[in-house]
Amino acid sequence: MSPIPVLPLVINGCMSALGSLATLKLIPAFKDHFISARLYGMDLNKTNKKEVPESQGVISGTVFLIIMFCFIPVPFLSCFVEEQCTGFPHNEFVQLIGALLAICCMIFLGFADDVLNLRWRHKLLLPTIASLPLLMVYFTNFGNTVIVVPKPFRLLLGMHLDLGILYYVYMGMLAVFCTNAINILAGINGIESGQALFISGSIIIFNLLELGGDYRDDHIFSLYFMLPFFFTTLALFYHNWYPSSVFVGDTFCYFAGMTFAVVGILGHFSKTMLLFFIPQVVNFVYSLPQLFHVVPCPRHRLPRLNPDTGKLGMSWSKFKRRDLSKLGNLILQVAEMLRVLEVKRGQEGDDEFVECNNMTLINLVLNILGPTHERDLTTIMLLIQSSCEITIVRLYTGGYRYRVGAPVS
Amino acid sequence: MSPIPVLPLVINGCMSALGSLATLKLIPAFKDHFISARLYGMDLNKTNKKEVPESQGVISGTVFLIIMFCFIPVPFLSCFVEEQCTGFPHNEFVQLIGALLAICCMIFLGFADDVLNLRWRHKLLLPTIASLPLLMVYFTNFGNTVIVVPKPFRLLLGMHLDLGILYYVYMGMLAVFCTNAINILAGINGIESGQALFISGSIIIFNLLELGGDYRDDHIFSLYFMLPFFFTTLALFYHNWYPSSVFVGDTFCYFAGMTFAVVGILGHFSKTMLLFFIPQVVNFVYSLPQLFHVVPCPRHRLPRLNPDTGKLGMSWSKFKRRDLSKLGNLILQVAEMLRVLEVKRGQEGDDEFVECNNMTLINLVLNILGPTHERDLTTIMLLIQSLTIFRHFL
């Protein structure tokens, strides 16, 4: 196994740090361009009606791409300069370029979505399109579709399972899931960039810990992407933190989700990566009834500001009793019984009305804590995120591994 | 040398045809999205003030990318299915992916330019950024920086010349040139998509003719890109033709320029390709004084409509005599003497005024033909483009 490529990693780190500074400067520099292009939003949880530039993920994403483009030949320099490699590692090179193609395409389509306000069905289609190059590269490079079965299912399915084409479906869906999971855990200043920052930070720690393991190359590959992502997102987070002077836009959620999917798939640690997504998964599952409109879903589900106290409280979805299906009613009752949903019932004129809190993780936290100031709420959400990451990393280094043999996980 | 990969080419052709139909349908389907996003323009040469959706190059570009993404494994299918290849041709695969990365990045940055209205210095920077993956792939794949010296210079420089790092500068500048050259030969309905259509069509013919030659693989590679480009642009041209119901935007000019640069560089026929760009080169050279503001340059240089006759005439740049530098004055005098520029001089109050026609190829043609209807003018410009091409093949 090859030694750790210290020089490329150091170069990558330095370029990432420079990229961070560049992003820090570029975001305020382009503010007027975005406002003129009408790419701005109003902060619904502030009393002032200032125009806040949107889609700033396009700036951090572009700096990321520039860093990566300049970095392309660096891991292979030893082949040219010292002629130290036995044969040019074409498959590693293809992997790098293919991954960048998927990410570049995703930033592009994400920005197009922000500008053109595409519909929900497009939000599922766009990541699928952008992940095509990834699937093609995987097909030609590895073609390995055998997974190690997670422990609970081994009695039923055996140790290994060849998913065949289902593995490609899984990869495509991973991209769709990661992008949208980050997108729906949103609504309070700094949460989108913050969660991505913490997830990427934990992946970096995980990669560093695994450098001493059997799959070093996979984790080095992941670091090449996660370091620039972390540093450019850090700069974005600085501007996006409470009170937000910029919003990240769907562009950022797409960009982040695809970058995570790429390192997870090509680094062969997608299952571990999903463990870092636990808050996003919980939020997604809790949101499912509203995402499928079984429980009525309003346009915005973010917490609501109480202008008198200056604190955020839960946001509510109000609808007529008779507009609710049997399944919806069942879900409401079960959730209320499990104490994860607050339901109010009342009468207005001839109609019976039902009100329930919007089914988001943020609302659930507000339910437990009571009305909270926005900055504190985001801090708590990010603490939850980091607690999950730390727990996973601890479990992992504590010897809990379910990977045996085959590198696919 | 390997046989002509008929099946991949046929598959590419079919996918391109489907892409053409898709683009044809998608452009009207997204019209409202673009208008709502305020990505529209007013046709300056029409009397009605209808909102015309802009940046439609983003639609044809996206369809192009989808076609190419789906096509990625096709040239290599024989390696998997029949296991006919001796070793997986990684370098060809890298070339394909690297080229797509450059084009995808260019479409993205081009669209960002259309949306955010970036400044002129960005128009030179963006293609350079997008061509980086191309340069990196070239460096790792070939690294060949030796060129065949054009005949006129052989006595001085010899047969071959190793440009070294200058070759990379040349490649980067080729991308910048192609994108902007298409961008400035503009202003009449259908000219941008039309010129790109004719150039790509001629490259396709050139590639097909060269399939029997020594560099077959290079030309097959070029066809893989030119076929989808041609067909998606054809659909765009249908909507962009006079009277335009959509405008292509800078997005399209960037997309087209980068695609041409990519096939020219990786197909090793960039010098031949530049011969297809002769009208663009002539327009560029003629425009230089205004591009460098030696001769004052207004915001728009497109021909002007005469509302009474319904025909287009030359557009003019008017400025004070004393605002003109010595160099500018010299250029005006030389150009006037060579009969490629019309200059009017006059007096208004205390100032001497000078008026000259905007220095574009379209204006030059109008100077020769006199006022012309817009549709006829575009047709003539495209005829000039195709004559240049036919001259090369004959």
Contact (CB, 8 A) for A9 and A60: no
- By Cβ distance, the residue of B101, B115, B139 closest to A101 is B101
The H or E element spanning position A205 is: helix A191-210
Contact (CB, 8 A) for A254 and A107: yes
Residues β-bridged to residue B316: B357
Considering only CB atoms, which chain A residues are within 8 Å of B115? 37, 39, 111, 115
Contact (CB, 8 A) for A332 and A340: no
Pick the residue from chain B with its C-alpha nearest to A62: B109
* A·B CB contacts under 8 A: 120
pLDDT by position in tens, chain A (length 409): 568 889 999 999 999 999 999 999 999 999 999 999 999 998 888 888 889 999 999 999 999 999 999 999 899 887 776 666 667 787 888 899 999 999 999 999 999 999 999 888 888 889 999 999 999 888 877 777 777 777 788 888 888 888 888 889 999 999 999 999 999 999 999 999 999 999 999 999 999 999 988 889 999 999 999 999 999 999 999 999 999 999 999 999 999 999 999 999 999 898 889 999 999 999 999 999 998 989 989 888 989 999 899 899 999 999 888 888 899 999 999 999 999 999 998 888 888 889 999 999 999 999 999 999 999 999 999 999 999 998 888 887 765 444 433 344 4
Best of B96, B100, B101 to disrupt the A interface (most A CBs within 10 Å) is B101
- By Cβ distance, the residue of B62, B97, B108 closest to A133 is B97
- Regions of chain B short of the pLDDT cut 50: none
Residue found under tokens 């090509």: A266
Considering only CB atoms, which chain A residues are within 8 Å of B65? 105, 129
Per residue in A101-115, is it b (16+ CB within 10 Å) or e — as a string?
A: bbbbbbbbbbbbbbb
Considering only CB atoms, which chain B residues are within 8 Å of A104? 101, 104-105, 108
Q: ipTM of this model?
A: 0.92
Q: How far is B195 from chain A (nearest CA, A)?
A: 26
Tallying the residues shown for chain A, one arrives at: 409
pLDDT at B149: 80
Q: What number of other Cβ atoms are within 10 A of residue B209's Cβ?
A: 11
- By Cβ distance, the residue of B36, B97, B112 closest to A98 is B97
pLDDT at B85: 67
pLDDT at B281: 93
Angle between helices B191-210 and B374-393 (to 10 degrees): 20
For B156-196, the three-class secondary structure string (H helix, E strand, C coil) is: HHCCEEECCHHHHHHHHHHHHHHHHHHHHCCCCCCHHHHHH
pLDDT at A408: 47
**Per CB distance under 8 Å, which residues of B are interface residues toward A?**
30, 33-34, 36-39, 58, 62, 65-66, 69-70, 72-73, 76, 88, 90-91, 93-94, 97-98, 100-101, 104-105, 107-109, 111-112, 115-118, 129, 132-133, 136-137, 139-140
Q: What number of other Cβ atoms are within 10 A of residue B78's Cβ?
A: 15
Considering only CB atoms, which chain A residues are within 8 Å of B100? 101, 133
Cβ pair A73:B136 closer than 8 A? yes
